[in-house]
A and B are shown apart, each in its own frame.
Chain A
């Protein structure tokens, strides 16, 4: 495979009004096309009292744009064999199209409409509002979602971008008007700070020309990142919430972590994979499920983002077992921070994670995720090509030191949600 056709190697280019473009070749035998716009439109930018704005805006981008209303847009996508999806996180919003390679021009047109010309029709706003309120209620009453929510509230101070899940409350969502969403859209779906990633067999030159024509209306401005309040407190917190009538207890433990740009990220990534990321091999899975037989799921995540990050260790367990599971999670986090990982264990996990990259080349949509990750974090174009040598150069003590940085236990919290009193 020549480097120009290597899906592990991106090509960067400049688009209209400051929009960054990243092109990726599709994997061998792929027959589909993927493209994603990423804009600085996450829920950290929600105004005070207008929480939920970013989520509602992102959702409405798929509900009619340009000359097509929601139903017409859905029918157009059906005929093109494609999909249009949108979601957001604290930092950004992503709008993606996917479909057959021969529909790529039509799908890029849909993406351009969704990003630049959403309709924000009143009936659609009402529908999305209803759906979001329902999700808010579920977040409060489903043990897993409630545990995630409470963990973030416990770890991050008021005003911190990672403190909430961006859904707002019934009052803030009911306050939103189409004009508010229009203003938010104009400020945050921009070329400056924006990014367009395409996995396509078209050349970079041709892609740049197409993007230049289709995305000419994105403003060149870029919003400043929101403030990051200092995370105070010095002792771990603990919280138990009883949800009677539920069957399973969800346990979450977590705290602040490093940003993706931190030089220790690759080592911290490996530490997380050993702890609970590489599910079947990980220490949490092995100890809590395979050896302990105490839970169906036990894992960890390291969310390293642009402005910072957080880590989580979690398990879903029985009402009579959670008291045994909580100390296990804590001990395994302490162990990953306190002791170098044996070389054989580190090698096994490292090679498995490198294999995962090859497996991502099965389809366009999987490969596209690799490209998005690299482009969003402004990593080098050959990031995935050099990734094996980066990971293989890491020694156990480096990984332990990175774990110490990444798994901040001083500011951590433990949350247990579910039918906790029954046991």
Chain B
């Protein structure tokens, strides 16, 4: 048994002989049960030519397996009143179903069927190509997506964080069904999977059912470790984009540590003070987060003063070193150069003086409060347990939480000096060309 701190429920954990890891979080009285399968496979395991393969496999996992023909997975979950979906990230892919608690066997049966035996027929792969194109095109309509994609392409020259999980347009056009099947057969298997079940179930019988359904799967799943290391950047990299719309937008990025790095807690506090969001420990109704944090430093310096209409920072938890970003949209009539100078001033001041005692106190409170509410409901519990487990380990949450509360202001300041190095900076500007609006 792993004993959770704070709001984290008690979790039973075991591993099958074929390598499948299992976490069970029984929540007495919960009306639902949520089943999550996390694969440690994401766009980090792709290479140029097959970028977007993990995301494409995610789509294909709903298109047929031996016992579930096309559309049957959706029907099986929905007809018992459940919901299901999936998402792909750089580091992982996650599939989930939440059902009324009496129907837990349905998603368990589906996941055991498609874990290693999804069909990926030529016909269905081809049909899905245009769907994936459409998904990418929908994203391309947003300047923020274009800027984000450009930022990572500039920042990474070798490491697979260089491309977005959706994949490059050219690869979506050329990837063959055979290549997709090869990718799936190589990585999607019990050794790279984590099964999390949370909600209203009896743990002993559920563990027995999991053993019965999943133990028969052969051990599979190639090593998902990424071998490439991104070389140290030796100078600022810049890009100027232009495109339709009316959104003058700017993003700056700096190299940031991997999740398990000792520098992570102080980096997270920089994000909390500058952007207002205590990522991994943020509180909010539903799954959403607050759109704006008026007390955060970037908002006060840029939005309240009329330089930007929105501004925030973002540190993302990643298995390998990634990026810390600051992004802002200029207010009407404010040149992007002025916005950039204003962000520089915020960063400069922060690296010189660090956070104030009030900011540190508020950040810690926000983290404490967020942690207390993070496990409401079976779906959120399944998500959160799996998220930490797939990126590091379930117990890492407790360690990170304690470290966050122990970080001092001077450590945050020192960390900011290491983080905001001009020679590792990436700047991407988006200048809108208008269109569709009468000025």
- A contact set with B: CB distance below 8 Å: 27-32, 34, 63, 70-71, 73-75, 78-83, 85, 96, 98-100, 123, 126-127, 130-131, 133-134, 137-138, 140-144, 146, 241, 243-248, 278, 280-281, 286, 289-291, 293-297, 316-318, 321, 348, 351-352, 354-356, 358-359, 361-366, 368, 418
Q: Does B357 contact A (CB under 8 A)?
A: no
By a CB distance below 8 angstroms, the chain B residues around A29 are: 27-30, 376-377
By a CB distance below 8 angstroms, the chain A residues around B306 are: 126-127, 130
By a CB distance below 8 angstroms, the chain A residues around B138 are: 247-248, 296-297, 316
A19: shortest Cβ distance to chain B, in Å? 23
By a CB distance below 8 angstroms, the chain A residues around B126 are: 293
0/1 interface trace, chain B 1-36, chain A, CB 8 Å (1 if under): 000000100000000000000000001111110000
| Distance, CA A46 to CA B413, complexed state (A) | 48
Q: Does B218 contact A (CB under 8 A)?
A: no
12 sampled A-B residue pairs with Cβ under 8 A: A74-B293, A78-B365, A80-B369, A138-B245, A141-B245, A141-B435, A143-B141, A297-B134, A318-B134, A359-B32, A362-B98, A362-B376
CB pair B81 A352 closer than 8 Å: yes
Of B31, B244, B293, B309, the contact of A243 (CB 8 Å cutoff): B244
Q: Classify the interface of chain B: helix, strand, loop or mixed.
A: mixed
CB pair A100 B127 closer than 8 Å: no
Given known contacts A127-B304, A141-B244, A351 and B79 CB-to-CB distance under 8 angstroms: yes
0/1 interface trace, chain B 292-305, chain A, CB 8 Å (1 if under): 01110000100110
Nearest 7 pairs of A and B residues by beta carbon: A355-B81, A81-B369, A362-B377, A365-B285, A245-B244, A247-B140, A247-B137
B125: shortest Cβ distance to chain A, in Å? 10
Of B84, B304, B332, B380, the contact of A363 (CB 8 Å cutoff): B380
Apart from the given pairs A29-B376, A278-B78, A359-B98, 10 other A-B contacts in the complex at a CB distance below 8 Å: A32-B376, A78-B362, A127-B304, A130-B309, A138-B246, A142-B245, A143-B141, A246-B141, A355-B81, A418-B141
CB pair A140 B332 closer than 8 Å: no
Of B128, B284, B300, B378, the contact of A362 (CB 8 Å cutoff): B378
| Distance, CA A245 to CA B432, complexed state (A) | 11
CB pair B294 A71 closer than 8 Å: yes
CB pair A245 B31 closer than 8 Å: no
Of A290, A294, A318, A356, the contact of B137 (CB 8 Å cutoff): A318
CB pair A364 B130 closer than 8 Å: no
By a CB distance below 8 angstroms, the chain B residues around A366 are: 286, 377
CB pair A293 B79 closer than 8 Å: no
Q: Does B165 contact A (CB under 8 A)?
A: no
B425: shortest Cβ distance to chain A, in Å? 26
By a CB distance below 8 angstroms, the chain A residues around B82 are: 352, 355, 359
| Distance, CA A351 to CA B434, complexed state (A) | 47
Of A83, A137, A286, A294, the contact of B283 (CB 8 Å cutoff): A83
A131: shortest Cβ distance to chain B, in Å? 5
CB pair B294 A74 closer than 8 Å: yes
Q: Closest residue of chain A to B331, judged by CB?
A: A130
A175: shortest Cβ distance to chain B, in Å? 17
Q: Closest residue of chain A to B375, judged by CB?
A: A31
By a CB distance below 8 angstroms, the chain A residues around B84 are: 280
CB pair A78 B295 closer than 8 Å: yes
| Distance, CA A348 to CA B135, complexed state (A) | 28
Residue from B74, B285, B331 having most chain A Cβ neighbours under 10 A? B285
CB pair B78 A281 closer than 8 Å: yes
Of A75, A244, A246, A289, the contact of B295 (CB 8 Å cutoff): A75
Q: Does B211 contact A (CB under 8 A)?
A: no
Q: Closest residue of chain B to A26, judged by CB?
A: B376
B1: shortest Cβ distance to chain A, in Å? 19
CB pair A352 B79 closer than 8 Å: yes
Q: Closest residue of chain A to B246, judged by CB?
A: A137
CB pair A32 B373 closer than 8 Å: yes
CB pair A83 B285 closer than 8 Å: yes
By a CB distance below 8 angstroms, the chain A residues around B286 are: 363, 365-366
| Distance, CA A375 to CA B84, complexed state (A) | 29
| Distance, CA A248 to CA B145, complexed state (A) | 13
B81: shortest Cβ distance to chain A, in Å? 1
0/1 interface trace, chain B 372-400, chain A, CB 8 Å (1 if under): 11001111100000000000000000000
B264: shortest Cβ distance to chain A, in Å? 22
CB pair B433 A79 closer than 8 Å: no
CB pair B32 A248 closer than 8 Å: no
CB pair A140 B436 closer than 8 Å: yes
Given known contacts A141-B244, A245-B433, A321-B130, A281 and B74 CB-to-CB distance under 8 angstroms: yes
CB pair A141 B246 closer than 8 Å: yes
By a CB distance below 8 angstroms, the chain B residues around A123 are: 304
Q: Closest residue of chain B to A321, judged by CB?
A: B130
Q: Does B236 contact A (CB under 8 A)?
A: no
| Distance, CA A317 to CA B28, complexed state (A) | 44
B277: shortest Cβ distance to chain A, in Å? 11
CB pair A356 B376 closer than 8 Å: no
Q: Does B70 contact A (CB under 8 A)?
A: yes
CB pair B131 A31 closer than 8 Å: no
CB pair B300 A30 closer than 8 Å: no
B67: shortest Cβ distance to chain A, in Å? 18
Residue from B372, B433, B437 having most chain A Cβ neighbours under 10 A? B437
Q: Does B227 contact A (CB under 8 A)?
A: no
Of A78, A141, A286, A362, the contact of B369 (CB 8 Å cutoff): A78
Q: Closest residue of chain A to B290, judged by CB?
A: A83
By a CB distance below 8 angstroms, the chain B residues around A348 are: 75, 78-79
By a CB distance below 8 angstroms, the chain A residues around B99 are: 355
CB pair B376 A364 closer than 8 Å: yes
**In the complex, which residues 238-279 of chain B have their Cβ closer than 8 Å to any Cβ of chain A?**
243-247
Q: Does B329 contact A (CB under 8 A)?
A: yes
0/1 interface trace, chain B 208-245, chain A, CB 8 Å (1 if under): 00000000000000000000000000000000000111
By a CB distance below 8 angstroms, the chain A residues around B283 are: 81-83, 99
Q: Closest residue of chain B to A349, judged by CB?
A: B78
CB pair A79 B365 closer than 8 Å: yes
Residue from A96, A247, A351 having most chain B Cβ neighbours under 10 A? A247
CB pair A354 B81 closer than 8 Å: yes
By a CB distance below 8 angstroms, the chain A residues around B377 are: 29-30, 362-363, 366
Of B7, B134, B380, the contact of A316 (CB 8 Å cutoff): B134
By a CB distance below 8 angstroms, the chain A residues around B372 are: 31, 81, 100
B138: shortest Cβ distance to chain A, in Å? 5
Q: Does B66 contact A (CB under 8 A)?
A: no
Q: Does B370 contact A (CB under 8 A)?
A: yes
| Distance, CA A36 to CA B291, complexed state (A) | 18
Given known contacts A245-B243, A278-B78, A352-B78, A293 and B127 CB-to-CB distance under 8 angstroms: yes
Of A81, A141, A364, the contact of B436 (CB 8 Å cutoff): A141
**In the complex, which residues 411-439 of chain B have their Cβ closer than 8 Å to any Cβ of chain A?**
432-437
A122: shortest Cβ distance to chain B, in Å? 12
**In the complex, which residues 278-334 of chain B have their Cβ closer than 8 Å to any Cβ of chain A?**
283-286, 290, 293-295, 300, 303-304, 306, 309-310, 329, 331-332
| Distance, CA A65 to CA B94, complexed state (A) | 42
CB pair B81 A351 closer than 8 Å: yes
Q: Does B168 contact A (CB under 8 A)?
A: no
Q: Does B177 contact A (CB under 8 A)?
A: no
CB pair A358 B32 closer than 8 Å: yes
Q: Closest residue of chain A to B142, judged by CB?
A: A142
Residue from B27, B130, B135, B434 having most chain A Cβ neighbours under 10 A? B130
CB pair A358 B135 closer than 8 Å: no
By a CB distance below 8 angstroms, the chain A residues around B80 are: 351, 355
Q: Does B133 contact A (CB under 8 A)?
A: yes
**In the complex, which residues 43-62 of chain B have their Cβ closer than 8 Å to any Cβ of chain A?**
none
